[in-house]
Amino acid sequence: MDYRLPRGTRDILPQQAALFRRIQDTAVVLSDMYGYGEIHTPIFEYSELFQRGVGESTDIVEKEMYSFQDRGKRSLTLRPEGTAPIVRAFVEHKLYNEAMPARYYYWGPMFRYERPQAGRYRQFWQYGVEMLGTLSPWADVEVIKLGWDFFARLDIPTSLVVNNIGCADDRANYKQSLKQYFNSRPLCDDCNNRLGRNPLRVLDCKNPSCQQQMEDMPLIDQYICTECAQHFDAVLGGLEALDVPFERNPRLVRGLDYYNRTTFEYKTDKLGAQDALGGGGRYDGLVELLGGPSTPAVGFALGIDRLELLMSGKEDPAIRRGFWLVTMESVENQAALWAYKLRDRGVSIDFDLLGRSIKAQFRQADRSNCRWALVLGPDELAKGKGAIRDLVTGQQEEVALDGLVEHVLNLEGVKANGTDT
């Protein structure tokens, strides 16, 4: 039997992992700069959290959750998203007693039983931020701008789509008129079902014939109350002041129940059907819904896998870095110690563990994308010297072993990623 990945999952091999790491580093630096603290919640939670927090009538809860019973007969679910767990933690640890607003960010895998295709997986990674405890439109602006800055730093062109889905009352009126509109029109079985439970979910349907029925439907912007309209105008004003370009789309009603007022999505035109790179919005009622005090909030979640897909094509060819130690078996033990002396100081250096010839060791240095070779053979060691060969220019110089470490440390670009002595 051959063993394979579970459908919809993928291995992140070192080259992709390096890209993941770069994306993550950007998220960490930016979140830190904006004052967001990192938060980790468990990979699984009690299923009720998502049933209640994400919403019974959503696609996620209806058909995408990885739920299972543990040995204690409790129903658990692999987290399909990050917001409900963070709100659960916020309430559970009474974080609302701390200075408001609270700002958190997270990074990690999410799980949804979706039909896999390029850019859509059953295990995928998200970076997200949440700001809780303020109704200020500047909170919405901050979160949207933070996401915008993130894509800009990674040099990924995106377009920002925004919408105002109002408050619960606005949506109740809108749902009513959607129901009337769709009642007399043919929809798929799923949508007929949705129409009874939550007509807004019809708008998520990708079925072309349902899409066609949506062409003349009423739009939410005609149902927004003055207060919600003023809030949204202030958000748009903030975005304009910060030169963040956006497009308004009254059809953007995101697939989770907890959103109100501002919703937004970052899109790309480079990934075909999977064009959403991330999105978010306000969720002023969720903390209370999950048992906490009434606390307004806003956040986003961005999909890392899709970013990686976009970036993997245009990475620079591997940059040469670090050393390869070239030696001979007779002096291997002595030479290896020099490699460790350099590693101790943060220098990336590798050496042969397979008894290769000198020529093969140089070839290996090249294949491993090393920038330099350090030659420590019996002749060099007997003279108290080592030879450093620049594998790009081919130039070689002899260096006294006494000053070898210092000499290496002074070479430009010698340090391994992120290390310092």
Enumerate binding residues for ligand AMP (CB under 6 A): 81, 112, 114, 119-121, 124, 126, 255, 276-279, 301-303, 305-306
CB of 64 to ligand AMP, least distance (A): 8
Position with the least CB separation from ligand AMP: 303
Paired tokens of 65: 């959750």
Q: 1: exposed, middle or buried (C-beta count within 10 Å: 0-12, 13-18, 19+)? A: exposed
CB of 13 to ligand AMP, least distance (A): 18
Query: End-to-end alpha-carbon separation of the chain, Å?
Result: 49
The DSSP bridge partners found for residue 257 are none
Q: Which amino acid is at 319?
A: I
Bond preceding residue 101 cis, omega within 30 of 0: yes
Q: What are phi and psi of 224, to 5 degrees?
A: -90, 130
Rounded Cα–Cα distance for residues 221 and 258 (Å): 18
Q: Which is nearer to ligand AMP, 255 or 377 (CB)?
A: 255
CB of 267 to ligand AMP, least distance (A): 9
CB of 37 to ligand AMP, least distance (A): 21
Maximum Cα–Cα distance across the chain: 93
Rounded Cα–Cα distance for residues 260 and 225 (Å): 12
Alpha-helical segments (H) within 184-225: 189-197, 208-213
Q: Which is nearer to ligand AMP, 101 or 279 (CB)?
A: 279
Whether residue 296 contacts residue 134, with contact meaning beta carbons closer than 8 Å, is answered with yes
Q: Which is nearer to ligand AMP, 137 or 303 (CB)?
A: 303
Q: Which is nearer to ligand AMP, 119 or 285 (CB)?
A: 119
Q: Which is nearer to ligand AMP, 50 or 338 (CB)?
A: 50
Locate the DSSP E strands across 366-411. 372-376, 385-390, 396-400
CB of 283 to ligand AMP, least distance (A): 12
Q: Which is nearer to ligand AMP, 85 or 279 (CB)?
A: 279
Q: Give residue 174's Cα distance to chain centre.
A: 33
Rounded Cα–Cα distance for residues 152 and 147 (Å): 9
CB of 185 to ligand AMP, least distance (A): 27
CB of 83 to ligand AMP, least distance (A): 8
DSSP single-letter state for residue 6:
P
Rounded Cα–Cα distance for residues 81 and 50 (Å): 9
Q: Which is nearer to ligand AMP, 122 or 389 (CB)?
A: 122
CB of 324 to ligand AMP, least distance (A): 38
Is residue 76 within a helix (H) or strand (E), and if so which, with residue range?
Answer: strand 75-78
Whether residue 169 contacts residue 144, with contact meaning beta carbons closer than 8 Å, is answered with no
CB of 250 to ligand AMP, least distance (A): 18
Q: Which is nearer to ligand AMP, 114 or 390 (CB)?
A: 114
Q: Which is nearer to ligand AMP, 31 or 361 (CB)?
A: 31
